[in-house]
């Protein structure tokens, strides 16, 4: 099993920045395990949507068009953490943000086996 815990959410004004972190743990999650890590978000009344993903070694990243150039995903395998730096935030970025992990990953929520509990990000306009 893999446990994921997000942190770093909060309230920020439009144009501001936030940095989300996700700490991974569990017997099957170690530096020898090649998990793809992803971030998703879900706004009220909307489906959960892909935000960003990063490969095991961090050499490959993928972003939703809506966040390209504003968000940056990174990971520290020595610490089993993945981060999402969010800059130039907009009101439409308001959502609960979820960290996810899977051996293969992708851009669809159904492609991830493990999920965190989510952290609220609210951007005021």
Distance CA 51, CA 39 (A): 5
DSSP, residue by residue, 22-80: EEEESTT-STTS--EEEEEEE-TTS--EEEEEE-TTS--EEE-TTTTTTEEEEEETTTT
Confidence at residue 16, expressed as pLDDT on a 0 to 100 scale: 98
Between residues 80 and 120, which one has the greater pLDDT? 120
Q: What is the pLDDT of residue 28?
A: 66
Mean pLDDT of the chain: 93
Q: Which residue would you say has higher pLDDT here, 117 or 1?
A: 117
Give the mean model confidence (pLDDT) for residues 5-28: 94
Q: What is the per-residue pLDDT across 58-112, written as a single tens digit (0 to 9) for each? A: 789 999 999 999 999 999 888 889 999 999 999 999 999 999 999 999 999 999 9
For residue 56, what pLDDT is reported? Answer: 81
| Residue 33: per-residue pLDDT | 63
């Amino acid at each position: 099993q893999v446990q994921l815990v997000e942190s770093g959410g909060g309230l920020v004004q439009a144009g501001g920045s936030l940095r989300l972190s996700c700490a991974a743990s569990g017997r099957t999650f170690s530096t020898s395990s090649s998990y793809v890590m992803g971030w998703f978000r879900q706004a009220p009344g909307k489906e959960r949507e892909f935000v960003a993903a990063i490969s095991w070694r961090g050499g490959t990243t993928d972003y939703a068009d809506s966040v390209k150039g504003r968000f940056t995903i990174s990971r520290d395998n020595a610490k089993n953490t993945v981060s999402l730096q969010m800059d130039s935030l907009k009101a439409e970025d308001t959502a609960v943000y979820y960290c996810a992990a899977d051996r293969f990953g992708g851009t669809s929520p159904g492609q991830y086996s493990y999920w965190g509990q989510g952290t609220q990000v609210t951007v005021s306009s």
